[in-house]
Structure 1
Amino acid sequence: MKTEWTLKEISEWVKDNSKVRIPAIQRGLVWKPNQVELLWDSILRQFPIGAFMLSYKDEMYDLIDGQQRWNAIASGYSTSNDGCILWIDLKPESVWKEGNTTRKYFIRVTTKAHPWGYEADDKCNPLKTAQKRAALEEFGVNTDDEYKGIISLTETYPIESGVPIPLCWMVAAGEEYSEDKYGFAEYIMDKIGENKVSRMFKLKNVDEINACLIAKYHDVFKRLSSFKVPTIRIDQETINKESENKSGNGTLSDIEILFNRIGTGGTRITERELMYSAVKAYWPELTKENDRLAALYMPPHTLISLAFQLVLSDTNKGLERTPDVTKIRKLAGNDGVRNAINNLYLTDGNKSVMSRILSLVDQWLTDCDKIPKVLRTTIARESSVVYLLLMAFAKWKEEGQIDPTLKEEALFRATAYYLHWMVGDKFGVANSIYQAVANNPLNEWGTIIKQVLLVSCVKGTITPLLSPEAFKGLFTIEGDKNWRPNENGRSSMPWWLLWDTVSYNREMLLYAQREYMCKRFPNYDPARQDLWEDKNRPWDFDHIIPQDWIHKQWSKRQAYTDYCEAWKDNNGNMAAIPFWVNRAKSNEANWDEYEHNSANLLADEEITRFGELFNGMLNGKVEQAKRFAEKTFTRMCKIYNEVYTLLKPVDFRVGEITFTEEGGIKDRKERMTDICDILVNEGFTAGIYFLYNNIMEYPQENIDDWTWEWMSCGCITENKYYAAFTMVLNQQDGSIVNQIEIGLRRLPKTAERIGEVTNMQLLQLKGYETYDLYKDNSWWHICKVISIDTDNNVIINELRELAKFASTKLQ
């Protein structure tokens, strides 16, 4: 076994005939740019960079630790501009400030996400927006190209540099002319000359480069051929053994603990990445097609995990969770699973089944490219079980289990986005939908999915929708400087979570202005978000009314500063627009982008008059502050209308949706409804109420109200008492607790109970000695517990007597 490797040998590990296999954790340039740049500074200074850990078996090596160092080294040797380019700055002194760096050699990185490079210090932070815009102007690149995702690295260079040239040129020159300084310099000058014709790289200040400048670096690069990196060997048997074990804490596998302990400063390997390494070992035939498809949709380890989950879901008749390394190893010997997985990826000259599944899911989530791809990618990464559910639907359609003549794309799309935005227990609800729709005709799925969502309300992890009309009527904005949307009990209302979500979920904003997004940024798709951080998106979220108009003269807070602050970051006052447009707009009265894209940005009809209406400052005047709140609310309602139209196919408050399964919810609804109807027919004022958030009771109005844990039914007296019985729903399984509380208490929605039941008053009730008296209870005055099996007539008689007593004996 080799004990050390040259840099050239390491750079060639990626070749097909290499004896070293790189794990299939295709994370690209995962290291931060400063790590890559400083690694090469260390190499050029002949500093040790740590050992690579390899396993050796059957005359082949597997890289166990050091992938990111390998990737950084290989990038320095690469003449390709796909993904990233490494540069060396020959005149860094014109850019670097004294004290900003510990480096001697100034290696710079440009990537697809940052084609302009990074700031000139050891932190290598992303450039500010103004710097990016200036860079594009210097490159001569149309700013719109950046938004459309078509900037090529051949058109850019690290803007924060003096005289950068590709590092690979210097590396190649040092190898070929290790003993010839002049040949070394001539090689680079020839490359520069050739580049004027081929334009393989865009060079900066190329006229300042001469042979003397280049020759200064000859001794540095000629030493690269003698730079060697040592190897630490780990037995393959050890890896195999440790992969099968679980650690004592039950959270990490022993192999993951091993990798983390032997790590040399690299990025921590995730469970899915470990799983993909296991797939590479036992299903090597999958990785080529998986990596090809992953480049279009999501990280490859996410895709391969979904593929295994898809196959295992069919086998187990329920959605499968992400398999770990141990499970992958065990499945390798299962011929049925192996064949099913292989069949997904088999191409045989045609598109693979997996390719067709992903294409169909993509059509559903993007509405055939009418919805920004970034939303599809976010679902794949952050709500992968939702993506898995759609993959299952697509697979059923591929296999002919779904009637291809029925068009249910809107239902599938609504289901996915509702689960992604409005559901806490995504796996549980998605799994319930998967099991409920299986083997049922497609034309019944809409009702089935609504029923699943409705029943899932029991656990309180689902946010019900309101009609756009109801949303618009949630409150009337007042001009009182102390008025806030969340006060006067509104934050405890059942609809508050919906309001809060729509107010601040930026994905909903992107969806609402989807036509604008697709027009402005048609090719932007961070499918590989391991390379694209959120801050690299080509848009800013702009405050339509600038923040400074609210916070102006912050040291002298105005009467309406806090009033306006409550609306400042609301989606109604936000829009996603190109970052350079946003920066040009700044705090000025400039709404040209909104005027030119009025419909697609849901702009206010008076947007061109905002400067006049608000006069650059709106925190001290009631009419301006109130107008700002009203216009923000109006635009928010427009946003909600767009979102609701998308989600309406799964709104379980619409249509004749009922509880079909026997037990809990259905039984309680039928029982309370029957008793309430009888009481009303007898002349009582009767009602059914649910308790929300253990604070306030509200009258039952919507079908989903029946899913709340505590519900009461009874008579309301003229003097504000409530003779009622309460049934409690078990939030774990939806069953009814086998006891009923019955008694007398305050009227729902009153701030305090009225009056007090005394012992003397209690004794006046014939047969009511069995009730417990509560003098200090904020709920019951008198109460007793009865069996769930108590006859309805008995309950009705009790309620009659309690109501009559409260009406005549209590003040």
Structure 2
Amino acid sequence: MEEQIAINAEIKNEFNKLFSDEFIRPKLTEWLDWVSGKDHNHFVALPVLQRGSVWKPRQIITLWDSLLRGMPIGSLMLSRLIAKNRSGEDVLVRRVGSKDLQSVPEGGGAALIDGQQRTLTMLLGWPYFNENQIQNRTLWIDFADKPLSEHLFRLHVTTTAHPHGFARADPNARLSLRERRAAKLANSAGIQFPWESHFPIMLTELIREYVAVNQDADLWSQWVISTLRKRGSHRGRSWEEDEPAAVPVIHRFASCLQALFNIKISLIAVPDKCFAEPQTDENEDPALAILFKRLGTGGTPLSDADYVYSVIKHHLPETFQLVESIASIKGFAQLLGPTDIVMTAVRLVAADLGLTDFESPGKANFDSLRKNPDFLERFLDMVKSGKLSGAFDLLTESLKYNPDNREDDPGLPMHGFILVSRPALQIVLRWLLSVSELHDARTVFEQSREEILRFVLYAYLAIPDCKKASVWAFTWLKETESHKNPSFPGKQLIEYLLRRSESENREMALPLPSKREFNELAITKNYDVARPMLGWERFQPRNESTPLIMRIFHRWWGSGDRYQHALLLWLQRSYVNRIEKNPDEIRSDDEVPYDYDHICPANHWKDWTGVRSNNRLLDFLAKDGNRGHVHVGNSIGNVRVWYASDNRGDGDSPAQVKLNLVNNETDSGADRLKDSVIHISHSEYWSSCSGTDSKDVWTKERALAFQTAVERRTSDLYARYYDELNFQEWFPVNTIM
């Protein structure tokens, strides 16, 4: 303890006062100088035990609005950082906004325990951030536009994934497809600039200039006005027409900057005793993990995954770099991210040790696992030995779509990796790691490739609760000693899940209908001639033998207002693979480079009421009010995956234009039909549903053509799924039911 005190005494800066008085109030600008690294006398970093998350644009805008108003934003909590641990080794941390680990300087510093997201957001406006700090978002001030409700100024956020920003009315919403097309045409270089703005300037530029003129509000205002006068027009607007209203806003912002540079921020020290190791029970929660439980950044409780990772990093700090290196592997590891990788490793280690299997261990579950004396050591071996990273790498390379094999190769395009759920991936990893103990992993994986692809894509469609099903699967893999057979037991595993689902009366796994059964469900044969459109009733069981296969039909078709059919990423894999293959864009969130595009545009049919009765799409319903047009329009049969670069000007054009079928010249549209996975024999229906007079005029004949086109493509897409994955190898699996 005396040695630790001596080391702590080397800290020479405002932190001396912080850790003696447990509270200081520096200026906001001083705090930002500390965390950005501009002030070298104050070293601020994140502890290894820290969660990672990113605020949404609305949260960023709201915080900066509060700052510009001079409102308090809550206190930040810091702990003492020392250069060496008790073993004399360097203490490794990462600076705020950086992914790189580095040693704490000899003089020590402070760790930001609570306030990471607020600080990162404040740094978006600070022009002095370190080059190693990641700034993939930009904050803009638009003086020529009215602000959102309850805001002083109009603020925009742009990101590397959304360089043209977000919707003006909702900062968290993506721009419409039409707006993204227009923005991309106007800004082909992809430079960050908010499309739905008037005359914005980056906040960092505004603050840099404010400092450059020594915080002279008049000189700064003159610079802003002069800068905007030099701008060309944007979307048909000129600065001259906006200047009269914008000038008072500029002066008001200058006043806010004056107040901003005088704001003080509250920093609270977390006492050293909160970090003490347990004295009585070595399996007691780490004190810092308890602190995070109680604290909850921004009022958000620490998630189970964050807690598990935090505790492991507390006991095994070296796992941080190891896990981060695995997460950088292109493909599945990158898609999952660090916390999912940790949870996967925890599950695999527990299975290896014969401990209780938890698909997503809660805090108490994890604590029970780590009480096993071999758990942490086996966990470290799993990530340090390369077993886990090797398995991820092998999975990625083996399951990736490879057109060199053949054009209809059943592999996954990089963007299609999101179709593989974490539980399904864990099942494959469990088998792969077990079988590699007895056989060469690459050899057995090559001969099991198509069976594994069949399994993971079946799981996406036909296992409604993959988390619970994976617990059954882990038990089955252990009891059957499947690792002794150098072939992935996909068929046998699904047979087991189907049998158990039936015996326990739980829909854990569903049988796949044959192509004939599916076609009979999809194609409308008997309908009311006067009101032929089918809505929700198409998903009702036809007889006692169809309920389970009807579930698959419904899941495939889609329902209601959702039309994001991810299976199209695999069905259109040749197209998806050849357009954009940046692995950084393999994400499950909304920051993806593709759209789900209605082939017959939604604004041709959605909620249109028309002006004449008996001549409207909404009139062609089998039952009043069942919104049959929505069930048809949002079906997988009317949706394709399409990149904005391929879809610039035709988003709202009729289907025959989008498919290049004008004048019924199907030969000219062959490539477009192929990329859209539309059989050439169906082109006549898409031409007929396009309308001849107006997009808004729907006759009975046009409505029928629309429904027919959607039904036939829906059935054809399922037939491709069934055939190209060779599901006949698994059947008659469905007779088990």
TM-score, structure 1 normalization: 0.64
Residue 480, structure 1, aligned to residue 524, structure 2? no
Task: Tell me, in whole angstroms, the C-alpha distance in 2 between the residues paired with 1:520 and 1:610.
Answer: 28
Paired position in structure 1 for 2:596? 540
Residue 414, structure 1, aligned to residue 439, structure 2? no
Paired position in structure 2 for 1:588? 654
Task: Tell me, in whole angstroms, the C-alpha distance in 2 between the residues paired with 1:550 and 1:491.
Answer: 34
- Range moving further from structure 2, 518-527 or 566-575: 518-527
Where 1:599 maps in the other structure, the secondary structure is helix
Change over 3 Å in CA distance of 1:267–1:116 after alignment to 2: farther
Q: Kindly report the root-mean-square deviation, in angstroms, between the aligned alpha carbons of the 2 structures.
A: 4.6
Paired position in structure 1 for 2:114? 65
Deviations 1:286-310 (CA, angstroms, capped at 9, x unpaired): 2223234435322321222212222
Q: How does 1:387-466 map to 2 (within 5 A)?
A: 387-396=425-434, 399=437, 401=439, 404-406=442-444, 407-423=447-463, 424=465, 425-435=468-478, 436-443=480-487, 445-446=489-490, 448-458=492-502, 459=504, 460-466=507-513
Where 1:506 maps in the other structure, the secondary structure is coil
> Quick check: which has more Rg, 1 or 2?
1
Residue 641, structure 1, aligned to residue 682, structure 2? no
Checking the alignment, whether the CA contact within 8 Å between 1:117 and 1:157 is kept in structure 2 is: yes
Paired position in structure 2 for 1:356? 390
Q: Which amino acid is 2:71 matched to?
A: F
Change over 3 Å in CA distance of 1:409–1:475 after alignment to 2: closer
Where 1:71 maps in the other structure, the secondary structure is helix
Deviations 1:23-61 (CA, angstroms, capped at 9, x unpaired): 655544x22212212322333443321101334576765
Task: Tell me, in whole angstroms, the C-alpha distance in 1 between the residues paired with 2:354 and 2:597.
Answer: 44
Task: Tell me, in whole angstroms, the C-alpha distance in 2 between the residues paired with 1:128 and 1:549.
Answer: 18
Task: Tell me, in whole angstroms, the C-alpha distance in 2 between the residues paired with 1:500 and 1:610.
Answer: 23
Q: Percent identity?
A: 17
Where 1:339 maps in the other structure, the secondary structure is helix
5+ residue gaps, structure 2, are 1-18, 83-107, 229-236, 329-333, 404-410, 559-563, 623-627, 661-668
Checking the alignment, whether the CA contact within 8 Å between 2:515 and 2:718 is kept in structure 1 is: yes
1:574 aligns with one of 612, 623, 639? 639
Checking the alignment, whether the CA contact within 8 Å between 2:518 and 2:715 is kept in structure 1 is: yes
Going by fraction, where is strand more abundant, 1 or 2?
1
Paired position in structure 2 for 1:277? 310
Checking the alignment, whether the CA contact within 8 Å between 1:88 and 1:167 is kept in structure 2 is: yes
Paired position in structure 1 for 2:166? 118
Paired position in structure 1 for 2:136? 84
- Range moving further from structure 2, 370-379 or 234-243: 234-243
Task: Tell me, in whole angstroms, the C-alpha distance in 2 between the residues paired with 1:55 and 1:22.
Answer: 9
How far did 1:426 drift? 2.5
2:180 aligns with one of 89, 108, 132? 132
Q: Which amino acid is 2:158 matched to?
A: T
How far did 1:409 drift? 0.9
Task: Tell me, in whole angstroms, the C-alpha distance in 2 between the residues paired with 1:131 and 1:103.
Answer: 24
Task: Tell me, in whole angstroms, the C-alpha distance in 2 between the residues paired with 1:438 and 1:172.
Answer: 64
Change over 3 Å in CA distance of 1:516–1:22 after alignment to 2: same
How far did 1:517 drift? 2.1
- Range moving further from structure 2, 364-373 or 610-619: 610-619
Paired position in structure 2 for 1:231? 267
Aligned residues: 612
How far did 1:284 drift? 2.0
- Range moving further from structure 2, 11-20 or 45-54: 11-20
Checking the alignment, whether the CA contact within 8 Å between 2:79 and 2:269 is kept in structure 1 is: yes
- Range moving further from structure 2, 14-23 or 410-419: 14-23
Task: Tell me, in whole angstroms, the C-alpha distance in 2 between the residues paired with 1:615 and 1:420.
Answer: 33
How far did 1:601 drift? 1.8
Q: Which amino acid is 1:157 matched to?
A: F
Paired position in structure 1 for 2:320? 287
Residue 501, structure 1, aligned to residue 534, structure 2? no
Residue 166, structure 1, aligned to residue 199, structure 2? no
Task: Tell me, in whole angstroms, the C-alpha distance in 1 between the residues paired with 2:687 and 2:195.
Answer: 40
Q: Which amino acid is 1:232 matched to?
A: I
Q: Which amino acid is 2:551 matched to?
A: L
1:468 aligns with one of 515, 519, 526? 515
How far did 1:640 drift? 0.9
Change over 3 Å in CA distance of 1:577–1:384 after alignment to 2: same
Task: Tell me, in whole angstroms, the C-alpha distance in 2 between the residues paired with 1:613 and 1:107.
Answer: 46
Where 1:597 maps in the other structure, the secondary structure is helix
Paired position in structure 1 for 2:144? 94
Q: How does 1:649-668 map to 2 (within 5 A)?
A: 652-654=730-732
Q: Which amino acid is 2:416 matched to?
A: L
Checking the alignment, whether the CA contact within 8 Å between 1:305 and 1:322 is kept in structure 2 is: yes
Task: Tell me, in whole angstroms, the C-alpha distance in 2 between the residues paired with 1:31 and 1:391.
Answer: 32
Paired position in structure 1 for 2:105? none
How far did 1:546 drift? 5.5
How far did 1:218 drift? 6.8
Task: Tell me, in whole angstroms, the C-alpha distance in 2 between the residues paired with 1:283 and 1:62.
Answer: 18
Q: Which amino acid is 1:21 matched to?
A: L
Where 2:138 maps in the other structure, the secondary structure is strand
Checking the alignment, whether the CA contact within 8 Å between 1:591 and 1:608 is kept in structure 2 is: no
Q: Which amino acid is 1:440 matched to?
A: K
Checking the alignment, whether the CA contact within 8 Å between 1:279 and 1:328 is kept in structure 2 is: no
Q: Which amino acid is 2:460 matched to?
A: H
Where 2:55 maps in the other structure, the secondary structure is coil
Checking the alignment, whether the CA contact within 8 Å between 1:25 and 1:301 is kept in structure 2 is: no
Q: Which amino acid is 2:123 matched to?
A: A
Change over 3 Å in CA distance of 1:608–1:52 after alignment to 2: same
Where 1:442 maps in the other structure, the secondary structure is coil
Deviations 1:307-357 (CA, angstroms, capped at 9, x unpaired): 22222221127754334446666777866333333334338xxxx443322
How far did 1:112 drift? 2.6
Change over 3 Å in CA distance of 1:281–1:177 after alignment to 2: farther
Checking the alignment, whether the CA contact within 8 Å between 2:418 and 2:586 is kept in structure 1 is: yes
Checking the alignment, whether the CA contact within 8 Å between 1:432 and 1:452 is kept in structure 2 is: no
Checking the alignment, whether the CA contact within 8 Å between 1:297 and 1:528 is kept in structure 2 is: yes
How far did 1:186 drift? 12
Task: Tell me, in whole angstroms, the C-alpha distance in 2 between the residues paired with 1:587 and 1:179.
Answer: 53
Q: Which amino acid is 1:303 matched to?
A: I
Checking the alignment, whether the CA contact within 8 Å between 2:81 and 2:110 is kept in structure 1 is: yes
Change over 3 Å in CA distance of 1:548–1:476 after alignment to 2: closer
Task: Tell me, in whole angstroms, the C-alpha distance in 2 between the residues paired with 1:551 and 1:539.
Answer: 21
Q: How does 1:587-606 map to 2 (within 5 A)?
A: 588-593=654-659, 595=669, 596-606=671-681
Task: Tell me, in whole angstroms, the C-alpha distance in 1 between the residues paired with 2:383 and 2:471.
Answer: 28
Deviations 1:712-766 (CA, angstroms, capped at 9, x unpaired): xxxxxxxxxxxxxxxxxxxxxxxxxxxxxxxxxxxxxxxxxxxxxxxxxxxxxxx
How far did 1:104 drift? 3.7
Checking the alignment, whether the CA contact within 8 Å between 2:598 and 2:639 is kept in structure 1 is: yes
Where 2:353 maps in the other structure, the secondary structure is helix
Deviations 1:344-396 (CA, angstroms, capped at 9, x unpaired): 4338xxxx4433222222234434595233432353xxx32212122223434
Change over 3 Å in CA distance of 1:218–1:390 after alignment to 2: same
How far did 1:508 drift? 2.5
Task: Tell me, in whole angstroms, the C-alpha distance in 2 between the residues paired with 1:88 and 1:619.
Answer: 43
Where 2:621 maps in the other structure, the secondary structure is helix
Paired position in structure 2 for 1:34? 58
Change over 3 Å in CA distance of 1:392–1:183 after alignment to 2: farther
Checking the alignment, whether the CA contact within 8 Å between 1:13 and 1:21 is kept in structure 2 is: no
Change over 3 Å in CA distance of 1:474–1:651 after alignment to 2: farther
